[in-house]
Amino acid sequence: MLPKKFIPLFCAAIALVFFASCSTSTPTSTAPSSAPQDETVAAAEPLTVALAILAPTEGNQVSGSVKFRQIEDKVTIAVNLKGLQPDSVHAWHIHEFGDASSLDGKAMGGHYNPEGKPHGLPNNPERHAGDLGNLKADSRGEVIREINVNNITINGPKNPILGRGMIIHAETDDGGQPTGNAGSRIAQGVIGLPKA
């Protein structure tokens, strides 16, 4: 045990060591770095291209691709399909989930409709964000078509579609409620990033 006369000196020495160590410690916050940001931050940057590769659902033969290209507030959607019946007409929609795990396409959920609007055809501005209308196959059962829409973005603030589902239906979209009487799902794909 320390004699009473050394206790104040001992306490002063401990305090001196404590305060000295505090003044030489490194700061806990740092100034912003000019180094490149990590992938998480970079992913938030606006994307200009997305792609869905379509595969047939069980018992069907339809396959192809749907490419999305965004320029400012407009998205150009280019579709290329094969395996349809010649001269047939089919609905196509963006669906709420990018889940291609079910053989019938039903894991994709319903039409993508973040604004809660009624179903409609592309000439109606009050429609689901995922309502794209109809595609007509040629005499070989193929479709090559391009449309422009302004009610979606690839990963922007307005109805982003990245990671959503793309469905080709067996029937024509007649514009009726709640989903256009478009029938079963004959092809499905997930909207993702194309290889650069």
Q: What angle do CA 52, 56, 57 make, to 5 degrees?
A: 110
Burial of 8 (0-12, 13-18, 19+ CB in 10 A): exposed
Catalytic residue numbers, as ranges: 93, 95, 111, 119, 128, 131, 169, 185
Helix, coil or strand: residue 10:
helix
Q: Which residue's structure tokens are 């007509």?
A: 136
Measured CA distances, 190 to 23, 75, 88, 110 (Å): 56, 17, 24, 14
Q: Of 64, 49, 16, nearest to 186 (Cα)?
A: 64
63 vs 2: CA distance, rounded Å = 87
134 vs 121: CA distance, rounded Å = 8
Helix, coil or strand: residue 30:
coil
Backbone φ, ψ for residue 19 (5° rounding):
-65, -35
